Amino acid sequence: MMKVLWLSPANTLFNEKGDRTYNGKGWVASLQDAVAASGADIRLAVAFLSKDGPSKTVRDGVTYYSIRRRSPSGFRKLYCNWTGAHPVNYDAGIRKVAEDFGPDVIHIFGCETPLASAILSIPEIPSAIHIQGIISEYTDGFFPDGMTWRDCITVRTFFNEAVLRNGYIHMHEDFLSRAVLERRYLNSLKFAMGRTDWDRETLKKYSDAAYFHVDEVLREEFYSAAGQFRPRKAHGTRQIHLISTVSPVPYKGIDLILRTASILTGDGYDVIWDVIGAGPDSGIVRISEKVTGIRAGECGVRFRGVLDARNLVRLMLDADIYVHPSYFENSSNSICEAQMLGMPVIASDTGGTPSIVDDGISGLLFRTGDAAKAAEAVKSLWSDPETAAAAGMAGAAGAAGRHDKAKIVRDLLSAYRDIYGSR
């Protein structure tokens, strides 16, 4: 029986409360569910960072290891935020886990996480990175055109950004530091898993690693509601209900949502745009309003905060079109979840998105950052209900095949066998 160690930024099924409530972060846990249900002949361990620990727990045949997360607090945190003098290295903890479990293969979720250092610290065990995104590609565009780090300082964010340095300015600096480490890891990488043309081709800039295509398992609530989306009968009216799921960071396009909504409102549409993932008092919302000069409430944009999967499904089924505004993306689970439901999708043509949205077939793509083109795409789908319905059905068919659990587990096990055989 092959022994596989997962190094995950989330604690998967060990404590579902923190990991399945936030937007797309439940996919690692969903993959674990699928592997368990398949009866795969592997023995699995999951190591993750936690404020508690170190600890070892065996549950349902899976061994969980928590590695203590080292985060400074108080004045030390302030000092580290200002100086960057807090290099995080978990090699000792990872090695202890590996020595205890004795894995044949190490599977690392994300090349940008500190746990990816296992590639360098435990070279004797073959390891593979499951690419989420490549932040070395994101650093230059962390702030979209028209936004700079200075815009992050508002009346409401001044103390957090300028004094505590605990906001987006510090996050950008952290991205730059992590990108340096990421390139070291990728340069030494022998095996990678991914799911889009973008991540496969971009990886070649940094690594000669062998590449395995392994798609992602979505959250169970979206399988249960697969194909349930139905267009409203009042499709020809001027009222449009849009929905987006984004992370509250600059490059995810909240400013683009405001600009697109403003254009639609100015053209006489009654817009309702629910944005999941950022609350109305979120710093990035205030910053985006400042940069664009557009108030969310004036153009129908409603920031709903974080929703669990059940409530997110309910809200998506009540909307008309899913819009994904991100400036950088690899393979958005949020798009995939919308497609699974059968929603028509509009998305920016960035990164790996064209691998999952076939422009003109399963949705419409617009030029990244172009609010006018995004608004045109919305009006185009809204004015043509037959095309919108066809796009939703095509997206649902594509998602059903792409996210088939049995297929994903087969691809994963095949990759494990090839990686193990390399040793």
DSSP E strands in 168-234: the ranges are 191-194, 210-213
User: Residue 182: in which H helix or E strand, if any?
Assistant: helix 168-188
Q: Which residues of 79-116 are buried (b: 16+ CB within 10 A; e: fewer)?
A: ebbeeeeeeeebeebbeebbeebebbbbbbbbbbbbbb
- Which residues make Cβ contacts (< 8 Å) with residue 63, sequence separation at least 6? 44, 45, 46, 56, 57, 101
Gap between the Cα atoms of 199 and 211, Å rounded: 10
Q: What is the pLDDT of residue 21?
A: 45
Across the range 21-40, mean pLDDT stands at 77
Q: Which residues of 392-415 are buried (b: 16+ CB within 10 A; e: fewer)?
A: bebbbebbeebbbbeebbebbbeb
Ranking 1-15, 21-35, 52-66, 134-148 by mean pLDDT, the lowest is 21-35
Q: pLDDT (tens digit, 9 = 90+) per residue, 184-236?
A: 999 999 999 999 999 999 999 999 999 999 999 999 999 999 999 998 765 55
Q: What is the number of structural domains in the chain? A: 2
For residues 228 and 313, state if they share a domain.
Answer: yes
Q: Which amino acid is at 187?
A: N
Q: Sheet with 301-305: list strands edge to edge.
A: 301-305, 270-276, 239-245, 321-324, 345-348, 364-366
CA nearest to 195, candidates 262, 109, 280, 256: 109
| 202's tokens | 């971009």
Query: What pTM, to 2 d.p., does this model score?
Result: 0.92
Give, as one character, the DSSP assignment of residue 162: I
Residue 62 sits in a domain whose CATH number is 3.40.50.2000
For residues 49 and 93, state if they share a domain.
Answer: yes
Q: pLDDT (tens digit, 9 = 90+) per residue, 235-261?
A: 557 889 999 999 999 999 999 999 999
Q: pLDDT (tens digit, 9 = 90+) per residue, 291-346?
A: 999 999 999 999 999 999 999 999 999 999 999 999 999 989 999 999 999 999 99
For residues 245 and 390, state if they share a domain.
Answer: yes
| Cβ atoms of residues 159 and 312 within 8 Å | no
Cα angle: 228, vertex 230, 233; to 5 degrees: 160
Q: pLDDT (tens digit, 9 = 90+) per residue, 397-421?
A: 999 999 999 999 999 999 999 999 9
| Cβ atoms of residues 82 and 165 within 8 Å | yes
Q: What is the pLDDT of residue 277?
A: 94
Q: What is the pLDDT of residue 85?
A: 60
For residues 203 and 86, state if they share a domain.
Answer: yes
Cα 157 to Cα 83, 162, 255: the distances in Å are: 20, 8, 17
Gap between the Cα atoms of 149 and 250, Å rounded: 10
Q: What is the pLDDT of residue 340?
A: 98
For residues 49 and 180, state if they share a domain.
Answer: yes
For residues 204 and 240, state if they share a domain.
Answer: no
Q: Is the preceding omega at residue 385 within 30 degrees of 0, hence cis? A: no
Residue 17 pLDDT more than 50? Answer: no
User: Residue 391: in which H helix or E strand, if any?
Assistant: helix 385-402
Gap between the Cα atoms of 397 and 395, Å rounded: 5
DSSP 47-91: EEEESS-SEEEEETTEEEEEEE-----HHHHHHHHHH-------H
For residues 30 and 165, state if they share a domain.
Answer: yes
For residues 248 and 304, state if they share a domain.
Answer: yes
| Cβ atoms of residues 107 and 128 within 8 Å | yes
For residues 111 and 203, state if they share a domain.
Answer: yes
Q: What is the pLDDT of residue 167?
A: 87
For residues 186 and 245, state if they share a domain.
Answer: no
What percent of the chain lies above the pLDDT cut of 90?
A: 70
Segments forming the whole domain that contains residue 326: 221-402
For residues 191 and 256, state if they share a domain.
Answer: no
Adjacent-strand bridge partners of 62:
59
For residues 188 and 264, state if they share a domain.
Answer: no
Secondary structure (3-state) at 20: coil
